[in-house]
């Protein structure tokens, strides 16, 4: 690569200093008072934006821990996009990447960050379910129930949807927490806590080949060894109807 122009070299040095002022010297001949304005502006803007994307994570950390985390993000991470709506994804990549764990990190840090990122993705998603191939009033046992693309089936070790800053440090993982995060018809992101059987049903609804709701419930009843499969089917019928009312299930495929 040819040597950069003097202007490009100065811009790179300027950016490197803003990311890591403790270790990267500033460009020559720029007054530190002026540099300080940019240092504070860039850091505070990104910190504020990410605090808005991850409000519960921000509340779970003290200010010093949060500031160190944001600074580490500046220093170590190389973003692949300049778009602000995608910065939360870059931050999540940083947390899940080669970042060295901080002893101050709560054990649920990654899971809570992922949960809040999914909330944001659903909130800003421009995807619209294709309803042309869906019968919204179809029989959910006879037909194949269609899951909304704006419904995410998730499992965490911690009950991330119920973590509160005042009690978060006291929470210990127990049974896995199964959740569906989804966007409603009113454009609101909602969460539904489900059990393992419901999660298994939702997973199978997305697996080929398409099968009827009854066939899937019979399959689950057989795997559970349930002595009265019809009870499972009756329960599942009510469950599917509830999921349709919520907008997790759109109807049946035409």
Q: Cα(239)–Cα(163) distance, rounded to whole angstroms? A: 26
Which two tokens mark 104? 């101050």
**Mean of the pLDDT values across residues 52-78?**
95
Q: What 3-state DSSP class applies to 105?
A: coil
- The answer to whether 108 and 163 are in contact (CB under 8 A) is yes
Instruction: Give the separation between CA 161 and CA 193, rounded to whole angstroms.
Output: 9
Return the DSSP state at 146: E
Band of the pLDDT at 168, cuts 50, 70, 90?
low
Look up the pTM and report it: 0.90
CATH 3.90.930.50 residue ranges in the chain? Answer: 129-253
Burial of 184 (0-12, 13-18, 19+ CB in 10 A): middle
Mean pLDDT in residue range 8-14: 85
| In contact, 124 and 225? CB cutoff 8 Å | no
Please state which of the four CATH numbers 3.40.1130.10, 3.60.60.10, 3.30.379.10, 3.90.930.50 is assigned to the domain occupying 129-253: 3.90.930.50
- What is the pLDDT at residue 167? 65
Give CATH 1.10.150.690 domain extents, the chain: 6-105
**CATH (residue range 6-105):** 1.10.150.690
Averaged pLDDT of the chain: 92
Q: Specify the pLDDT at position 166.
A: 63
Separation between Cα atoms, residue 5 and residue 26, nearest integer Å: 17
How many CA atoms lie within 13 Å of 170's alpha carbon, on the beta-carbon side?
5
């Amino acid at each position: 690569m040819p040597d950069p122009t003097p202007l490009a070299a100065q811009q790179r040095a300027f950016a490197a200093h803003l990311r890591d002022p403790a270790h990267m010297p500033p460009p020559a001949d720029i007054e530190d008072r002026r540099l300080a304005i940019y240092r504070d502006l860039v850091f505070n803007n990104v910190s504020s934006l990410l605090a808005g994307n991850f409000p519960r994570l921000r509340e779970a950390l003290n200010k010093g821990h949060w500031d160190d985390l944001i600074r580490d993000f500046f220093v170590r991470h190389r973003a692949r996009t300049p778009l602000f709506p995608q910065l939360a994804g870059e931050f999540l990549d940083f947390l899940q990447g080669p970042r060295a764990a901080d002893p101050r990190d709560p054990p649920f840090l990654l899971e809570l960050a992922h949960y809040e990122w999914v909330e944001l993705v659903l909130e800003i998603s421009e995807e619209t379910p294709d309803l042309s191939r869906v019968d919204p009033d179809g029989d959910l046992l006879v037909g194949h129930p269609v899951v909304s693309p704006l419904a995410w089936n998730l499992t965490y070790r911690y009950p991330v949807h119920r973590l509160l800053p005042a009690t978060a440090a006291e929470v210990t993982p127990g049974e896995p927490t199964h959740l569906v995060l989804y966007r409603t018809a009113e454009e609101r992101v909602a969460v539904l806590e489900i059990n393992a059987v419901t999660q298994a049903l939702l997973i199978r609804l997305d697996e080929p080949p398409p099968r009827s709701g009854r066939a899937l419930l019979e399959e689950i009843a057989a795997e559970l060894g349930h002595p009265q499969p019809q009870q499972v089917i009756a329960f599942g019928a009510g469950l599917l109807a509830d999921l349709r009312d919520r907008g997790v299930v759109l109807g049946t495929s035409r």
